[in-house]
Chains A and B, each alone.
Chain A
Amino acid sequence: MIYREAGDFKTSYSADQQTFPIGFDRWTVRVVVIFAFLVVPFLINDYWEKSILLPFLIWSLAALGLNILTGYCGQLSLGTGGFMAVGAYACYKLTTMFPEVNILFVVLLAGVVTALVGILFGLPSLRIKGFYLAVATLAAQFFLVWLFNKVPWFYNYSASGQINMPEREVLGFIVSGANAEPWATYLFTLLFVLVFAVIARNLTRGRLGRSWMAIRDMDIAAEIIGVPPLQAKLSAFAISSFYIGLAGALFFGVYLGAVEPTEAFGIDKSFLVLFMIIIGGLGSIAGSFIGAAFMVLLPVLFKNIMVGDFGWPTDTVQHFIFMLVGGLIMFFLIVEPHGLAQLWRITKEKLRLWPFPH
């Protein structure tokens, strides 16, 4: 009954094109953001940080990045893992070369480096489309991981071939390394995710977003009405890679602390992020978050119920979760091929009319 547009009149075009046109949505989002910033840091513990909140936030950021490229611009990419590795290694190299630079800027710079690499691997997209482009980006995935394994300069000639994140501070609070408090790493990540989610929304609602979607929906018509394909595609690759680079830097720097490229940034990660945006909803900001929640949080939830409440053996539960999550993916794709975000949109339409649908 509260979910209504009635009475919420839009009297200007700027009010008409706001992100959350329904009052109830606006308030929910405000409450959630305030809760996330002001309440969660006091409640958070190591388990919530490492198993739930950080992975959810970081994968959301990666999904957001891939959604810009695949969901909005229609360029299929399987290089996400490789680009995350670029972000991670850029973060590592920059922070070990310039230890005095604030980690905030290092993470942003890691994003910029990844954006440049993304543009480079995006160049084939000007010639090839669809599955063929996916294969070309697959080459990026394998090449980049191979590069970080083979060239010792990237891992500072360490004997193990791993990279380890040194301790870094923001405003005097440690946010990386073993001594970081859960609330500090959480807030640091949350800040990035929130700011860049807002930026993603702004970019996709304006000229740039429309030129991406025009290329996605009909590239020839887009070019004829004046969208420069080179600019549109490469900007999508750059911005998408920037987000994925940020996610990679946070994944390594704040979340894991030490990585080995083959394991942390393998092809399975590329598929994971792709599944997130397919299930969450292509071409939807909210869908990126929903998809990340689905793929990251659901297994944790099942595990807690089955191991914690039912007391089943861990390995059985592990396999059972694979089957269950796989089944759910298929279920939701059959129910709504356009993803959970679309399902949510339809639910909203129905809620507006409830309880008098006719």
Chain B
Amino acid sequence: MDQAAASEDILLDLRNISLSFGGVKALIDISFDIRRGEVRAIIGPNGAGKSSMLNVINGFYHPQEGEVWFDGKLRGPMKPHQIARQGIARTFQNIALFRGMSTLDNLMTGRITHMHENMFWQAIWKGRAEKEELAHRERVEHIIDFLEIQSIRKTPVGKLPYGLQKRVELGRALAAESKLLLLDEPMAGMNLEEKEDMCRFVLDVHDQFGTTIALIEHDMGVVMDIADRVVVLDYGRKIGDGYPDEVRSNKDVIDAYLGVAHD
């Protein structure tokens, strides 16, 4: 593939990102890209800066240096909710569902970037607001079917077990129908069966909707199986980037994970 075609293909391009909190350097001069339609994994030991990286991508942190190019455009100073509207959705490491709301309402909230009827029509409800609501309900019901969570549609999410909450959170991110889906440890704290289910869902999302996915995950087996390309961070620096096989045999990566003798 030649250079021009490759740049057409790139959905997100991070160039020389540096982020620090006071004296703590969280990310140091990191560059990598995410191609359209791929599953890109970000891995690294604890504290490597993976979650900070995601927070930079969805605009929650503003890097001191570097450029974020999304969908061919350089991102200016923006608020996270504006970036969500551009088409980036995410899940969180610690479940961040709206606990007081039902599964259905959580998913409907995920579609909030697509709903536009103003306050006046909503107050009247009959007519435009109801029509919009039903159209979006239809879309959300597809996702409910897809994730097989029909039975918990009206259950407050606070009452659900952990595995299901993770699934609902994935559903909420899917409901946004975003261009880029960021998954922050979607399989953390799950047993083998739940992990397999979740992998299936991630791959199905990728196949059926063609969504570009960036995910953080600690389980190396999972990462090597489902990721198209992997980027490895350690202490805020990028130490590896490439196809799973390349990364697996990279000496720096092995050192970072297994530790090296200090002499």
Contact = CB atoms under 8 A, between A and B. Distances in A.
Interface stretch (B28-36, B119-127, B226-234): B119-127
Contacts of B101: 210, 213-214, 217
Contacts of A206: 117, 122, 125, 129, 133
B122 A13 contact: no
Interface in A175-207: 199, 202-203, 205-207
Interface in A11-48: 13-14, 17
A208 interface: yes
A202 B129 contact: yes
A165 B115 CA distance: 43
Interface string A140-179: 0000000000000000000000000000000000000000
A269 interface: no
Given A14-B134, A207-B117, A222 B98 contact: yes
A217 B172 CA distance: 15
B109 A227 contact: yes
Interface string A216-252: 1110111111111100000100010000000000000
Contacts of A213: 98, 100-101, 105, 109
B119 A203 contact: yes
A14 B113 contact: no
Interface in B37-89: 58, 60, 79-81, 84-85, 89
A217 B58 contact: no
A216 B108 CA distance: 16
B113 A226 contact: yes
Interface centre among A206, A224, A229, A235 (most CB of B within 10 A): A224
Contacts of B138: 13
Contact of B123 (A17, A199, A221, A224): A199
A225 B96 CA distance: 11
A225 B100 contact: no
Contact of A224 (B80, B129, B134): B80
A243 to B, nearest CB: 12
B97 interface: yes
A221 B119 contact: no
B186 interface: no
A283 interface: yes
B129 A226 contact: no
Contacts of A225: 84, 89-90, 109-110, 112-113, 172-173, 176
A224 B60 contact: yes
Nearest to A338: B100
B174 to A, nearest CB: 11
A290 B111 CA distance: 33
A222 B96 CA distance: 9
B92 interface: yes
Nearest to A216: B100
Interface centre among A17, A207, A223 (most CB of B within 10 A): A207
A13 B134 contact: yes
A224 B60 CA distance: 7
A235 B97 CA distance: 22
Nearest to B96: A221
Given A202-B124, A206-B129, A220 B96 contact: yes
B99 interface: yes
Contacts of A14: 130, 134
Interface of A: 13-14, 17, 199, 202-203, 205-208, 210-211, 213-214, 216-218, 220-229, 235, 239, 283
Task: Give 5 closest A-B pairs by Cβ, nearest first.
Answer: A226-B84, A217-B98, A221-B96, A202-B125, A226-B113
21 contacts: A13-B138, A13-B141, A14-B134, A17-B137, A202-B124, A203-B119, A206-B117, A207-B112, A207-B129, A213-B98, A216-B98, A217-B97, A217-B98, A217-B100, A218-B99, A220-B60, A223-B81, A224-B58, A225-B113, A226-B176, A229-B81
